[in-house]
Structure 1
């Protein structure tokens, strides 16, 4: 009669010389490893370790790098089930690295349940070498070049390096072999106080981190001190470490030292549905989706909600999507860097400096974002190219412009709405700026739209409401500008449109309505300009107050005025101007 091999193996501490009272680390570790080897040799699929305190010798003294092969070595085709009160404590040591559980070049491995505690607070950090000094390679679970790994319902805390480290065996594009870890899932785990990070990978193809509590990483002098660090590496156009196809979802990040998640140099990353109180960064990574996260800081102000670095030397762009996030309680909501992507449908609240900022960015669409309760510049574009800001709504700035554009090229602001703002759009040292269909309701003394002598700007169909200062003011000495079909309502300023310097500007089909408390007013005021054309503009006042000169060109030269209309005042032109009624 054939006897079917039982699926379950229950480890008996006495059978294997295991101390379950928290002593005898060497004997306990050797006993656990022998028990797992036995279960594997007999084809047991599930191994149960009972309640107890197990002191683990996590250092492999036979290796140059003691974290390789240290601690409990889990073989292939094993589901290791740890009692919820099975506690595995790393024996305090003075080595640069260790592994409490080591999964090396294995496949089809599960670790479920239990508690793993590192020696962070008992570790001796005084032992250093000329190469390694930081003691940042001590791991709770070390996955190296392994596949089909599940880590579930495990609590890991207080390791001197990463609580969970998922690594490739070897490096890409070198003379040695390279085997990334593949298809690794970390689910429903609690990761606490990892000295370096709570979880990190440098080489995994297919990683899912799902429904985990990740708290209080860092606190020491070493970096990166992140909740999760997806830390690839490349330079001079060559990839050496490249985590790929990574998902972090439905996790809760709290009080991690320098940030919640960083995708440093990775590919195809999804960061979705998480709750975070610190920055999420796409670093140098490509094809990243940061979607539907609650990034809410309610404590001391932090710098960024979403951050970035740029484009990796191995890639042509970032291709990032930042969509549907709620971001609150930061200096800057989203800082966009790099090349290629979309920032859309995000909601910002309680931002101190700027909800949406680009810096050294190229080819980004920023659309359909909402900004509330943020008394600061709403959108800032700096040192960037090919940026389009569309259908973004903000309100309520007491001393800041709604949007600022600086040192940038080919920038478009289209159909945005900013209400109750100090000033509208401020542009300096930027070229090929297009402002179209923006709705600006002003409540302060800033300009509606301003640009300096080093900027080239075109304005079309913008609405500027209740300006207290000049609604449209430019000093376009170097570049001709086009100002058409803009509407200025209830202008309280003395001047509605003012241009100083430059030549061959065109002002066409603009409508200006004054609502001043006293007589006097200038609809269009030109100074030191040449060959400007004013065509079919209309200037009028309400409330019975009279304008001085609806079109004032006497300080300019060679101005052409064609079919312009007004309801009060007189033209004030220069000799040589052409006027067609």
Structure 2
């Protein structure tokens, strides 16, 4: 949520011009404190010639240098008193000092000098900033003039650069936008190291509408200790000319998906707070490297934070994290990424417009990783991301999903609200905890949380797959009204303490190994809902202390599970899933068909159980009471090498059986012992 600050400005103005009694402007610690405007336009009756060393000179009039360079001796201090110095160069011999309020576009400072106060206040009229709709030429001058002020004040020792309320367009693309290549860094607004850009809450920096496929409104490039606070950065998404475009290599770039409002690359200790990033042709914020990591000179981001901000309505992703470590995204509103219906021509080709372009996520963690072949050995890490915290944000209205961790490790997603999916693709050590997911109407057919599954061959020869995705826990989330609660994949993870409501499939497990699922609660009234669905294969899965209440559903669906399949490149003969010590309140029984290696132990089951074309199944020590006594306790058809032991069944008297074998001749090598049956009247 974007915070608003209201500041009290205290100006202590002395009326004396003596060395010890000059203007004293108390900047304080609050953002956007500003001094009085220039009010004295009277020409000065003195010059800067023949000023003695160590003089403190108060400027309370207009001193026109008339294009000349004035050399000042050592120790001279120029003090602002509602005057100005214009049209020239002031060169300080050594140990010079100047009030920041004397700086303006027509004055250059050279030599050895510093600002008398590290906090500089930027006024647009002093730097010839033209507000409102302007020509390309004026928008270009706006950018150059702001850059000159930033560079000059930083060189003079400013650590805080406060901008008054202004609304300005900046041209940040080449003058000739038809050229096949443009270096973004040459046209952006660049921030220096050790610098705080503080913007008034109503200040707006806008992208001058253009036809170029890539740009950056503001860039922090290989810098350290930079902060941006306040203000609004607005792109040209709805004014952009999406003309067909080819780059210098002849590649088509007509998607126009590379324009970003704020680019942070190869930088360290960067804090972005309380800003708005809106309506870019691509992304609101990108954090990345200044090159590829395969080159030893490449540097990447470290310790970057985005807090208390609004990132919304950007055409591609709202936020993309493509390289870096120790990144924090906290307390933000991340809204409406990639919205807009894609248009097609009569031949089915996409007509590129302000409508969203893929991936269209609220936040996308996606460094570029390549492989020369299908093995892990061939991996090349061009970019990489690790140690990211995404905490206490609000994700709403994003087109394809709220968060995707496509690649990268140790990404913590904690305490967020989301009306769309949270998903992983290729990650390890990443946690999804304490989030609330409530599906909006148009995404109710999706799965709320999907964990990572990323398998490749161990070596080029293939034959055996290795699972990269490990340790991706899912804990203490609330998931409401998605088709699927969560899909658990990967290796060596824990899923616990979650609440799933209104799902058609509560818990999906596939392509998973060494997973513990326990102490979760599931409720649903969806027609034909399933408590658990097992697909493809899984091994060493423990599901226990679960509680399912499905008023119109099945407690388990397992079809074509753990059956030999050459596509798996795994021997699944001894794979096993154990479901134990859980409670299944469901109206209908499960379908366990064409499956193997499923153990159902010590559960309370309130429906029938159906086994068909299965092997290596264990159904032991369960208490099974069929709701409304509408079917057998358990039914076996073409079941082999399985156990049904020590169960207690409750069924309708004189109608159904505790254990029913459709055709006992095709049920082979089973152990069916020590089961009891209780018959009841309806």
Same structural fold, with TM-score higher than 0.5 when normalized by the shorter chain: yes
Distance in 2, matches of 1:345 and 1:136, equals 40
Structure 2 counterparts to residues 408-419 of structure 1, below 5 A: 408=562, 409-419=575-585
Contact 1:162 1:197 in 2 (8 A): yes
Q: Is residue 2:388 matched to residue 1:235?
A: no
Greater share of residues in strand: 1
Q: From the superposition, tell whether residues 487 and 61 of structure 1 become closer, same or farther in structure 2 (CA, over 3 Å).
A: farther
In structure 2, the partner of 1:11 is: 122
Between Structure 1 and Structure 2, how many residues are aligned? 507
Contact 2:426 2:468 in 1 (8 A): no
Shift of 1:455: 2.5
Contact 1:303 1:331 in 2 (8 A): yes
Structure 2 counterparts to residues 132-211 of structure 1, below 5 A: 132-172=253-293, 174-175=294-295, 177-211=297-331
Query: Alpha-carbon deviations, 1:217-269, whole Å to 9, x = none?
Result: 00235200011001123233312222110111100011000000111111000
Task: Tell me which of 618, 631, 634 is aligned to 1:469.
Answer: 631
Task: Tell me which of 236, 253, 268 is aligned to 1:119.
Answer: 236
Structure 2 counterparts to residues 356-505 of structure 1, below 5 A: 356-375=507-526, 376-386=529-539, 387-398=541-552, 400-406=553-559, 407-408=561-562, 409-423=575-589, 425-442=590-607, 448-466=608-626, 467-477=629-639, 479-492=640-653, 493-499=655-661, 500=664, 501-505=666-670
Shift of 1:187: 0.2
Shift of 1:196: 0.4
Distance in 2, matches of 1:461 and 1:363, equals 24
Contact 2:509 2:538 in 1 (8 A): no
Query: Helix, strand or coil: the match of 2:613?
Result: coil
Q: C-alpha root-mean-square deviation of aligned residues, in Å?
A: 2.1
Query: Helix, strand or coil: the match of 2:280?
Result: coil
Contact 1:326 1:346 in 2 (8 A): yes
Contact 2:651 2:657 in 1 (8 A): no
Structure 2 portions without partners, runs of 5+: 1-53, 55-94, 98-114, 340-354, 457-465, 563-574
Query: Helix, strand or coil: the match of 2:619?
Result: strand
Shift of 1:199: 0.6
Shift of 1:449: 1.9
Query: Alpha-carbon deviations, 1:402-428, whole Å to 9, x = none?
Result: 1112312411111121114211x4312
Distance in 1, matches of 2:255 and 2:515, equals 39
Contact 1:427 1:455 in 2 (8 A): no
Task: Tell me which of 424, 438, 445 is aligned to 1:282.
Answer: 424
Shift of 1:69: 4.2
Distance in 2, matches of 1:429 and 1:438, equals 22
Query: Alpha-carbon deviations, 1:256-288, whole Å to 9, x = none?
Result: 000001111110000010010000012211111
Structure 1 portions without partners, runs of 5+: 443-447, 518-581
Shift of 1:19: 1.9
Q: From the superposition, tell whether residues 374 and 357 of structure 1 become closer, same or farther in structure 2 (CA, over 3 Å).
A: farther
Query: Alpha-carbon deviations, 1:515-551, whole Å to 9, x = none?
Result: 146xxxxxxxxxxxxxxxxxxxxxxxxxxxxxxxxxx
In structure 1, the partner of 2:184 is: 67
Contact 1:321 1:342 in 2 (8 A): yes
Shift of 1:513: 0.8
Q: From the superposition, tell whether residues 221 and 52 of structure 1 become closer, same or farther in structure 2 (CA, over 3 Å).
A: closer
Contact 1:426 1:449 in 2 (8 A): yes
Task: Tell me which of 141, 152, 155 is aligned to 1:38.
Answer: 152
Query: Alpha-carbon deviations, 1:335-380, whole Å to 9, x = none?
Result: 22333322211111122x2121123333322211111134211111
In structure 2, the partner of 1:331 is: 483
Query: Helix, strand or coil: the match of 2:382?
Result: strand
Q: From the superposition, tell whether residues 490 and 469 of structure 1 become closer, same or farther in structure 2 (CA, over 3 Å).
A: closer
Q: From the superposition, tell whether residues 384 and 127 of structure 1 become closer, same or farther in structure 2 (CA, over 3 Å).
A: same
Shift of 1:503: 3.3
Q: From the superposition, tell whether residues 217 and 312 of structure 1 become closer, same or farther in structure 2 (CA, over 3 Å).
A: farther
Q: From the superposition, tell whether residues 508 and 395 of structure 1 become closer, same or farther in structure 2 (CA, over 3 Å).
A: same
Distance in 1, matches of 2:149 and 2:319, equals 28
Query: Helix, strand or coil: the match of 2:387?
Result: strand
Q: From the superposition, tell whether residues 315 and 37 of structure 1 become closer, same or farther in structure 2 (CA, over 3 Å).
A: farther
Contact 2:172 2:187 in 1 (8 A): yes
Distance in 1, matches of 2:455 and 2:670, equals 42
Shift of 1:494: 2.1
Query: Helix, strand or coil: the match of 1:25?
Result: helix
Distance in 1, matches of 2:334 and 2:159, equals 30
Query: Helix, strand or coil: the match of 1:197?
Result: coil
In structure 2, the partner of 1:562 is: none
Shift of 1:312: 5.8
Query: Helix, strand or coil: the match of 2:635?
Result: strand
In structure 2, the partner of 1:251 is: 393
In structure 1, the partner of 2:406 is: 264
Distance in 2, matches of 1:180 and 1:235, equals 18
Distance in 2, matches of 1:25 and 1:278, equals 39
Q: From the superposition, tell whether residues 342 and 211 of structure 1 become closer, same or farther in structure 2 (CA, over 3 Å).
A: same
Structure 2 counterparts to residues 73-92 of structure 1, below 5 A: 73-92=190-209
Distance in 2, matches of 1:306 and 1:37, equals 46
Contact 2:362 2:402 in 1 (8 A): yes
Q: From the superposition, tell whether residues 91 and 368 of structure 1 become closer, same or farther in structure 2 (CA, over 3 Å).
A: same
In structure 2, the partner of 1:222 is: 357
Contact 1:428 1:455 in 2 (8 A): no
In structure 1, the partner of 2:453 is: 310
| TM-score normalised according to structure 1 size | 0.83
Q: From the superposition, tell whether residues 312 and 99 of structure 1 become closer, same or farther in structure 2 (CA, over 3 Å).
A: farther
Could you tell which deviates more after superposition, 52-61 or 184-193?
52-61
Could you tell which deviates more after superposition, 388-397 or 224-233?
388-397
Distance in 1, matches of 2:296 and 2:338, equals 32
In structure 1, the partner of 2:224 is: 107
Contact 2:615 2:641 in 1 (8 A): no
